[in-house]
Amino acid sequence: MLTLRETGPGSPIALLGTGVGLPAQIVDNATVAGPAGVTAEWVTERTGIRLRRWAKPDEATSDLAAAAGRAALQDAGVRAADLSLVLVATSTPDSPQPPTASLVADELGVAPGTVAFDLNAVCSGFVFALVTAERLLRASGGHALVIGADVYSRILDPTERRTAVLFGDGAGAVVLGPGGRAGLVAARLATFPEAHGLIRVPAGGSRIPATADSIDAGLHHFAMEGRAVRDFVLETVAPAIRDFVRDAGEIAAFVPHQANPNLVADLAAAVGIAPERTVVTGAEHGNTGAASVPTALHHARAGLHPGDLALLAGFGGGMSAGLALLRF
């Protein structure tokens, strides 16, 4: 477990702007319920999700990431040419190589030599990437574009009700640099590798390459042990959050990973954060993987005031948890 505090070395780095990139296609519960063998009402009752957005056939993760990045740069008043780092958190890259961040950097028109790379901590990825970028900028200066982006609709088995009804596609981004609207007060990153099998895509890598047999067996689909994941969130992540914020003061906005609205409500209750302080976007967007925390942060930002604390909490495959406190 890695814990970082505001007093770290180097120059202070702040959040300068935020942005989102969401597909235009809206998918309702009736659309996903039929192939999964359930009803639209069942999906709403079990998950709290009503809608999600799916990428068009010609849209990939880099397209959504670039849209979010462009919006965040405009919000921050920073040019792409002034970036020194582009970091994309994703577990659904455009392809195994090159890094999706390279494609985004090229699309945005960054300066030659700008560092661009991907980070995969699944649904914790954005918080991991945020902390990584903040620490790099403390040492080097400059500006960073940090993006969480995923297109999970491409790796779902539409007949599997435990997963097919949960996910949407999207991207969220922030720009970091000197000065600005919010600073990182503290962060805690942790991985619990003994539970790595709870969330998985078995094939498509070096252990099980893409073959006709692996595709026929459905090994390229996303798989999750839903009940065990829920237990992990409430029995491992919730106590970690309580410990992390014990001396932090009042939390104005709790910005968790949007696994599903029902689980978000249970997590907030377990942590002791009031529903009105909990940001919930999953009802309209579904679970967008690494995009869910930055998308929810963008949604929450308008309601935050100087001095407010926002708690970001990512959790997901690995199993992993990423926590961060921002002071506006």
Q: Which long-range contacts (CB under 8 A, 24 or more apart) does 4-9 make?
A: 4/131, 4/135, 4/186, 4/187, 4/188, 5/185, 5/186, 6/183, 6/184, 6/185, 6/186, 8/135, 8/138, 9/138, 9/139
Between strands 143-151 and 115-119, the pairing is unpaired
Report residue 264 as tokens. 């978000």
Could you say which of 143, 221, 257, 299 is catalytic? 257
End-to-end CA distance of the chain: 26
The DSSP letter of residue 230 is H
Q: How many other CB atoms sit within 10 Å of the CB of residue 272?
A: 11
Question: For 157, which DSSP code?
Answer: -
Catalytic one of 29, 120, 262, 287: 287
Residues 6+ apart with CB under 8 A from 46: 165, 262
Residue from 123, 221, 262, 298 carrying the catalytic annotation: 123
- Checking 59-63 for CB contacts under 8 A at 24+ apart, the result is 59/23, 59/151, 59/169, 60/94, 60/151, 61/88, 61/90, 61/92, 61/93, 61/94, 61/100, 61/149, 61/150, 61/151, 61/171, 62/94, 62/100, 62/103, 62/104, 62/107, 62/149, 63/21
3-state helix, strand, coil in the chain (%, to 5): 40, 25, 35
Other C-beta atoms closer than 10 Å to the C-beta of 98 total: 14
Q: Is 260 a catalytic residue?
A: no
257 tagged catalytic: yes
The CA distance from 131 to 65, in Å, is: 19
Just list the catalytic residues: 123, 257, 287
